[in-house]
Chains A and B, each alone.
Chain A
Amino acid sequence: KAGVTQTPRYLIKTRGQQVTLSCSPISGHRSVSWYQQTPGQGLQFLFEYFSETQRNKGNFPGRFSGRQFSNSRSEMNVSTLELGDSALYLCASSLVTGQYNEQFFGPGTRLTVL
């Protein structure tokens, strides 16, 4: 099975622009979660989508949004970029069987905001 893929891998934007990142989960996985990782704050949970519905949301401003398509692929969007949005954005997919939710991570998209 192919792993979780994320595109693009690297991205440079300027303040005020918007960006869309894409995540393709492992085939059969219906849950996709997004995380932001910065040197100062570590890993932080952004949101989780399951069957096209946002099921959970972290403590991020409304500039951060996402969606999930019927094939479970997910996108996240950041509008009006700020310098502090420079980070590694990771997505993870999971099968979600019963109680357990083992996460399989993609390689991440490294976003630099100038």
Chain B
Amino acid sequence: KNEVEQSPQNLTAQEGEFITINCSYSVGISALHWLQQHPGGGIVSLFMLSSGKKKHGRLIATINIQEKHSSLHITASHPRDSAVYICAVENNFNKFYFGSGTKLNVKP
């Protein structure tokens, strides 16, 4: 069993739609990270959180420590949001475990 499970694996949306990507984990963590990877490989860290909720522009990340679950929301999605979104958890010894990623395609 994977330490980090993401859903859905693939997601197609129309421009403007509200998008949710889910992440569940089974290990004890010190932090959860949401990463974005564009075609070509470059990875950008979107959020790092250990409790509650964070917001950057149209992106919102939430985490429920008790339920070991996190969600990434994109409001008013845009074609430039098309990318692979990866959930990663960092355990108390700074070791990382990754979800398999969610491939998002936002159509104009």
Interface residues in B, total, Cβ within 8 A = 23
Interchain CB contact (< 8 A) of B93 among A43, A56, A103: A56
Contact B90 A101, beta carbon cutoff 8 Å = yes
Contact A105 B98, beta carbon cutoff 8 Å = no
Within 8 A of A (CB), among B86-105: 86, 88, 90, 93-101
Interface residues in A, total, Cβ within 8 A = 26
Distance A73 CA – B7 CA, assembled complex (angstroms): 36
Distance A42 CA – B93 CA, assembled complex (angstroms): 21
| Secondary structure of the B contact surface, majority rule | strand
When distances are taken between beta carbons in the complex, the residues of chain A under 8 Å from B48 are 100-102
Contact A33 B41, beta carbon cutoff 8 Å = no
| Secondary structure of the A contact surface, majority rule | strand
Q: What does the 1/0 interface line of B24-61 toward A look like (CB < 8 Å)?
A: 00000011010100000111110010100000000000
Chain A interfacial positions (CB closer than 8 Å to B): 31, 33, 35, 37, 42-45, 48, 55-56, 58, 88, 90, 92, 96, 99-105, 107-108, 110
Chain B interfacial positions (CB closer than 8 Å to A): 30-31, 33, 35, 41-45, 48, 50, 86, 88, 90, 93-101
